[in-house]
Amino acid sequence: MKLAEKIVKYMEAKNYHLARKPGEKNIIYVEGMDPNGTLNADTPNHFNDARLILGFRDGLPTIEGAWEATTEPGYYYTDNPMNPNGAARIAFGQYRAWQVGLHGYSNPHEALVQVGLVKVHRDWNRDMMRTGDEIHEGYFGINQHHGYNHPKNDIHTAGAGCFVGHDIEQHFDFMDRVKSDPRYRNDHEFIYPTTIIPGDKLFAPR
């Protein structure tokens, strides 16, 4: 089964929304998976998650874009959390919560910025895992931005809980593609859904 078909099957089983009309984009992150669809060790502090755009052509799903990313904070913000309850680790699921906007202050750039509620695990014990961590729901500035071209094996200060594309130029390719969605073209206030999937569950036999 192709990766796009596997993702659709997973999302359907979870009753997640799938945008199927011509030109519509589904934004998906798969944790612990390379952009080519290969699972990896999901080593902490690495850009080793996949940022994907999935669309439909003639009714069939296809991966229209795939890039290296991280859905998790690195060592820096795990050890120096911006919230006293611990660094934010997004809870797996689907959220309709992002609009086109600007991310950052020292180096502001176009990104998808959080405008709706999301759930995060607070890594209070700093073990870089979700297990046993409290879940908080709210507005936390969980944006979808670029990673300032930090090394693949060192997220450093690029991620404090956001969805971070590794490469700057690839991030802007991602933005161009999501902005080509007719729902955004018709309404620049369009709120994008995004789905976050654990790689081991995506590839688990069902």
**Alpha carbon distances (Å) from 101 to 43, 45, 97, 111, 195:** 30, 26, 12, 6, 19
Cβ–Cβ under 8 Å, residues 135 and 120: yes
Share of the chain above pLDDT 70, in %: 99
Question: Sorting pLDDT into bands at 50, 70 and 90, what band is 107?
Answer: confident
Non-local CB neighbours of 84 within 8 Å, separated by 6+ positions? none
Report pLDDT for 32.
Answer: 98
Report pLDDT for 33.
Answer: 98
Q: Of all helices (H) and strands (E), which one includes residue 188?
A: none
What mean pLDDT, rounded, does the chain reach?
96
- How far apart CA 130 and CA 71 sit, in angstroms, is 12
pLDDT in tens, 109-146: 999 999 999 999 999 999 999 999 999 999 999 999 99
The mean pLDDT of 87-99, rounded to a whole number, is 98
Report pLDDT for 49.
Answer: 98
Report pLDDT for 1.
Answer: 78
Non-local CB neighbours of 22 within 8 Å, separated by 6+ positions? 56, 182
Angle, alpha carbons 46-7-114 (nearest 5°): 60
Report pLDDT for 175.
Answer: 98
Share of the chain above pLDDT 90, in %: 96
